[in-house]
Each structure stands twice: as structure tokens, then as C-alpha cells.
Amino acid sequence: MPPESPVLQLFQRVLRLLVWLNLLFAVAVVAAFGALLVAPERFMALLGSRDPSVALIAGMRLLAVIGVASVPLAHIVLTRLLAIVATVRDGDPFVAENAARLRRMAWALLGLEAMHLVAIAVAVRVSDASNKLDWSFSFTGWLAVLLLFVLAEVFAHGSRL
């Protein structure tokens, strides 16, 4: 077994923290969704929205559902990356399991990016002059999806050598 790398230890700690923060995010979004069901106008006022439309409230509910749906996909990415870091720590990263992990991460990230597009569509649809939902598009996530699929093939090839 190779000596323990301080960088790998840091990566493991950060990834474990991110797993817990992802779960905390799920709890927060479920709570927000509940507030949007029980007292939507009051919750929207807390967010700084005055006189929210029915469409805006419905859009915010849909965004909350998308947020909750993203949690398992983010969990897949984080836990698979944590498992890959463990194989690096053990000195044998080019194993077939890591190729499969990278492929699952790529599919999960693809799902997250697709959800992001849906969230953008919702934001554009329900925004109005007095209640503007900000959104942005980036090619970075899509590039990461391609990168993960390519790395999965690299690791699959490396594991066969």
C-alpha cells in the first residue's frame, strides 16, 4: 500500500463533507417545498417577492421538485468519486470498477445537466418584470459529461492492460 497522500486525505474529507451537504440541501429543499404548499405567499415574501403570481409559485414548486430530484444524482457523482479516490489511495486506480464508476458518474451528470435545462425553461416561463428568476447556461457541465465518458473508456482500457 502506498504512503497516505495528504492531498488524497483532503479530497476524501471534502467529498465526505459534500455528501453530507448534499443531504442537507435535500432537507432544505423539501422544507421549502412544504412552505410553498402551505404558505406560498408568505414564503415568497421571505424571498423578496411581492405579489407572486400563481405561475411563479407553481414554477418555484417545480424548481423545488427538480432540486430534490437532483440529490440522488449528485450523491452518485460524489460517492463514486470517493470510491475512485480510495482506489488511488490503495495504489490501483486502473480497475474495471472505476471505469464503471466513471460511466455512472457521466450518466448522473448528464441527468443533472438535463435538469438544469428544465430549470432554465421553468425560470424563463414564470419570470416577470417584478419577479425575475435568474438563470444561466454553461457548456462546462456538458463538457464534464463528455470528459467522464471518455475517462471511463480510458479506465476500461487501462484495466485490461
In this structure, of 40-44, 112-116, 121-125, the range with the lowest mean pLDDT score is 121-125
**113, HSE (Cβ side, Cα atoms, 13 Å):** 17
Are 134 and 96 a contacting pair, CB within 8 Å?
A: no
Report pLDDT for 2.
Answer: 61
51-70 pLDDT per residue, tens: 888 989 999 999 999 999 99
Cβ neighbours of residue 56 under 8 Å, at least 6 residues apart? Answer: 44, 49, 126, 127, 128, 131, 133
Residue 107 has pLDDT above 70, yes or no: yes
Residue 26 has pLDDT above 60, yes or no: yes
Residue 14 has a CB neighbour count (10 Å cut-off) of 13
Residue 1 binned pLDDT confidence (cut-offs 50, 70, 90): low
Residue 3 binned pLDDT confidence (cut-offs 50, 70, 90): low
